[in-house]
Amino acid sequence: MGRSLLRYGLLGSLAWAAPAPAAYVPMLARALRIPLRLPHRDGVALTFDDGPHPQGTPAVLEALEQAGATATFFLVGEQVDRFPALAAEIAAAGHEIAIHGYRHRLLLRRSPIALVADFDRAQDAIAAATGRSPSLYRPPYGVFSTPALAIVRHRGWTPCLWSKWGWDWSASATAESVAMRATTGLCAGDVVLLHDADHYSSPGSWRSTAAALPRVLDAVAALDVGCVSVSQST
Positions marked catalytic: 49, 195
- Residue 207 burial by CB count (10 A; 0-12/13-18/19+): exposed, middle or buried? middle
Taking alpha carbons only, the member of 75, 149, 79, 82 closest to residue 110 is 149
Short-list 34, 40, 44, CA closest to 190: 44
Helices 84-92 and 112-130, axial angle in degrees (round to 10): 70
The DSSP code sequence of 187-206 is -TTBEEEEES--TTSSTTHH
